[in-house]
Structure 1
């Protein structure tokens, strides 16, 4: 009777694989892949980065303890491998975001939606970059140009838009995979007559599609970029 109760509490293989796929390291890997593939900067995952940072501290403490206590070298190397892999993912995730900020800082700063996707540290970094670049351009180039051409964002004062500000190409095609069945997706590419057709996505199937068509679904976490 007791044996039957114990067996009933054991997770199935599908449940075990689902558990592995939702560990913080796996979630960080998904966030890293999506950030790497997305043409624009995505929302900073405060909770995930915080949890992973705490786990890294615990892993470093474990490696230090095992290295000083004469633990089995194989066991120590496995702990070190997990630590290095997680640290690489976190650093790469943050580095990709910094590169996007450096490239699109003026575009990000003028949009409240994009600005609020950044962490406090990223906002401070972006603000310093904008101030430093403006100062450098004003001192080295803009001050020597006619008054109508001294703007950092516009080619001239008569420009209606900030035509000197680089923006991400949202019409870029990306490889993606849906976590669930999705319908009613409006295509943003191809012939005009085809754009009225609604697109469907099956879970687990790979699709190569215009990022602009799935942008809201990526932001809501229903689609992972690869």
Structure 2
């Protein structure tokens, strides 16, 4: 039985997902949360197999921040973003945050079930049109000779954090500059180190120098 946690600020959506999934298809909704912070707390307590994560939760921690933090705390946890946003920017940001999958709320029930099973098995899942767009962009970048390496896999915020760390700013100073929490800075730093295959701060600085990121203007 797959254990599922639903994180969405709309009670009607949570209720509908529970009705769809509970006790059916070898799935069970073991908890629900109305924002990212509650979702993190519930995940740590309940240990689900899959978290269904909404992106926009205006009255609490958003889904992208929560996904990043969940993957830091529970690296093996599968997070499936369930959203109304059919938008490349949200898609890429969700992937960079560590989501295992991305599916639209308008998707048929059978597609949602397939996506849940896929991410629970350790695989990735993107809705069909998103996969097509990603492949098209990748091919175009290859055609234009772009270097698609570890640095290019970083989100814009992760690149900002990398540059500021390399310049010697503390986590607290970076948090103040970017108007985010220290914990979020630490999460971005962890993601950067993992994506770049770096272990220490000196290695990070050396990488930043090679990339020409130490412009102090």
- Measured against the shorter chain, the TM-score band is under 0.3
Structure with the bigger RCO (C-alpha within 8 Å, sep 6+) is: 1
Larger % of helix: which? 1
Taking structure 2 as the reference length, what is the TM-score of the superposition?
A: 0.27
Q: Which has the larger radius of gyration?
A: 1
